[in-house]
A and B are shown apart, each in its own frame.
Chain A
Amino acid sequence: MIRIPCPFCGPRNSNEFAYKGESRRRPDPATATAEEWRAYLYGHDNPEGWVREGWYHRAGCRRYLKVERHTLTNEVRSAEPAVGA
């Protein structure tokens, strides 16, 4: 079980959220090469350790959060609003 400290709703169980995956920078669609675009689509770091990732609080405040989580222990270190960050 993963508990996410939502800055708007307090600590909530992860099954209230939709998982959005590792945060990655999207290349500019107008200038990206096919390789860059595919690397963006399919490339992941998939680390065993701390990751920065997106979660959407769909059964709560309906905001997108930027979360830091350890993938081996599922410990969550921080959760902040994604917008504006």
Chain B
Amino acid sequence: MLNGNGKLNGYRGRKPARYSAFDLVRHGIRHGEWPRVWREHDLSPAYDVVIVGAGVHGLATAYYLAVNHSVGRIAVVDRGYVGGGNSGRNTAIVRSNYLTPEGVRFYDRSVDLYEHLSADLNFNVMFSQRGHLTLAHSDASLRTMAWRAEVNKLEGIDSSVIGPEEIKQLVPYLDTSGHTHYPVLGALYHPPGGTIRHDAVNWGYARGADARGVEIHQNTEVLGIDVDGGKVTGVRTNRGRISTPVVVNCTAGHATLLSDMVGVKMPVITHPLQAAVTEPVKIFLDAVVVSGTLHVYVSQTDRGELVFGASTDPYASYSMRGSLEFTEELAGHVLELMPSIGKMRLLRQWSGLCDMTPDFSPIMGATPVEGFLVDVGWGTYGFKAGPVAGETMAELIATGKTPELIAPFELARFAEGRLVGEKGAASVGH
């Protein structure tokens, strides 16, 4: 059976050929279907590790488990489809200019992994390090930028505060005249920051994991988790029960619903986050531009669309319906920054469900229930963390030891009052 994406049942046990220029030419001449890049399987009654959520976090964890360790049979289950959650809905900004040393170190490892990811996965993830600017419209935010720049430099990150003239050179279409309600006084400039093709990252990890024996089960919803004597023993799904000693919660906006199944309370609130794109126009915007004060950020895709994002909707919700309030406010604020794009039209808007934590840092690692691990709290900023989270969670699952990079992000930090405050660096510019 064929569909637009090649043979439905994939490559039936045979590993897919590596993508190459030769392959491209061969396919071009023969007009052949590209085979599906991961297989479908019957659900087995038992796995050694069950990862819930086939977003970038679940898939990367499975991939690095299979590549760097050997833990037996791994399943990734998702109630929907691969990358159907926030991992296919984000605005794909990657950067490491955070505010705390813990955050900077952690996200920088992810940028390192992203820099080699296309080669690692044999899949072009289109990582474009075009530079990232966070505008300051007041003395107070200039001071925060200076603080961030210094923390960044101490950790070896390319990050500095620049003035309006330099900003104007990088982004000529920005109104830096000073005759605006919120004048541009300066910016935190982070040259290695940029954007990536999020779908390619999801698909690349899925393909890489599949090729190493990981089973990806779409349309498989976890309905309950069995715990016996404080230990995980299995999960119940709409396709039957699976025995497993290890369950990893990578469900983003649904994080508390899953943790509730084992009685683990988590300080997470689910907020919708919306984004929008315009029709495509000739390329005129190189860098990613963020304004915290105006609650907006913008980048231009290689196809020419402007991608806009903002802060989360101001209430908890599991609804992914977009709102007019969002578009109105967004348009007003974008025009304040770039009056010349007033005639452009929005093509579409959409939303995702973000797992917000009190300190804008993730929750990673073990929980009081043995075998129940979490990798959640990714809020509005977790796509960039996919590779490092996958790498470190895989290490934790395989060795039982919490890697140093993620020790600050344990669930226990809330009870112990050790918050890792990243709000100043993550609430608008994701």
Partner of A42, one of B315, B324, B358: B358
CB-based nearest B residue for A2:
B315
Partner of A71, one of B267, B316, B321, B414: B316
Interface string of B303-326 (1 = CB under 8 A from A): 000000000001111110101110
**Residue B119 is within 8 A (CB to CB) of chain A in the complex:** no
Contacts of B417 in A (CB 8 A): 34, 38
If A42-B358, A43-B267 touch, whether A72 touches B318 (CB-CB below 8 Å) is: yes
CB-based nearest B residue for A46:
B256
Interface string of A7-49 (1 = CB under 8 A from B): 0000001110011011000000000001100110111111010
Contacts of A22 in B (CB 8 A): 316
**Residue B56 is within 8 A (CB to CB) of chain A in the complex:** no
A48 near B323 with CB under 8 A, answer: no
B319 near A72 with CB under 8 A, answer: yes
CB-based nearest A residue for B265:
A43
Partner of A1, one of B265, B324, B358: B324
CB-based nearest A residue for B325:
A15
A46 near B270 with CB under 8 A, answer: yes
B319 near A74 with CB under 8 A, answer: yes
Partner of A44, one of B267, B314, B325: B267
Measured in the bound complex, the distance between the Cα atoms of B415 and A64 in whole Å is: 30
Measured in the bound complex, the distance between the Cα atoms of B315 and A72 in whole Å is: 12
| Residues 42 to 82 of chain B near chain A (Cβ within 8 Å) | none
Contacts of B396 in A (CB 8 A): none
How near does chain B come to A66, taking the closest CB pair, in angstroms?
A: 15
How near does chain B come to A53, taking the closest CB pair, in angstroms?
A: 8
**Residue B196 is within 8 A (CB to CB) of chain A in the complex:** no
Partner of A46, one of B316, B319, B358, B414: B316
B319 near A73 with CB under 8 A, answer: yes
Interface size on A, residues (CB 8 A): 26
How many A-B pairs fall under 8 Å by CB?
A: 54
CB-based nearest B residue for A43:
B265
Measured in the bound complex, the distance between the Cα atoms of B318 and A42 in whole Å is: 19
A1 near B414 with CB under 8 A, answer: no
How near does chain A come to B214, taking the closest CB pair, in angstroms?
A: 29
Contacts of B358 in A (CB 8 A): 41-42
Interface size on B, residues (CB 8 A): 22
Contacts of B104 in A (CB 8 A): none
Measured in the bound complex, the distance between the Cα atoms of B414 and A13 in whole Å is: 35
**Residue B275 is within 8 A (CB to CB) of chain A in the complex:** no
How near does chain B come to A41, taking the closest CB pair, in angstroms?
A: 7
Contacts of B256 in A (CB 8 A): 44-46
B269 near A48 with CB under 8 A, answer: no
Contacts of B314 in A (CB 8 A): 18-19
**Residue B373 is within 8 A (CB to CB) of chain A in the complex:** no
How near does chain A come to B358, taking the closest CB pair, in angstroms?
A: 5
Measured in the bound complex, the distance between the Cα atoms of B53 and A33 in whole Å is: 36
A44 near B268 with CB under 8 A, answer: yes
**Residue B257 is within 8 A (CB to CB) of chain A in the complex:** yes
Measured in the bound complex, the distance between the Cα atoms of B270 and A41 in whole Å is: 16
B269 near A19 with CB under 8 A, answer: no
Measured in the bound complex, the distance between the Cα atoms of B317 and A22 in whole Å is: 12
CB-based nearest A residue for B359:
A42
| Residues 255 to 272 of chain B near chain A (Cβ within 8 Å) | 256-257, 265, 267-270
Measured in the bound complex, the distance between the Cα atoms of B268 and A2 in whole Å is: 22
If A1-B325, A41-B358, A72-B319 touch, whether A46 touches B415 (CB-CB below 8 Å) is: no
28 contacts between A and B (CB under 8 A): A1-B323, A1-B324, A1-B325, A13-B325, A14-B315, A15-B325, A21-B269, A35-B415, A41-B358, A42-B414, A43-B265, A43-B267, A44-B256, A44-B267, A44-B269, A44-B316, A46-B269, A46-B270, A46-B316, A48-B257, A51-B316, A71-B317, A71-B318, A71-B319, A72-B319, A73-B319, A74-B319, A74-B321
Since A1-B324, A74-B317 are in contact, a sample of 13 more A-B pairs with Cβ atoms closer than 8 Å, ordered by chain A residue number, is A19-B314, A19-B316, A21-B269, A39-B265, A44-B269, A45-B256, A46-B270, A71-B270, A71-B316, A71-B318, A72-B319, A73-B319, A74-B319
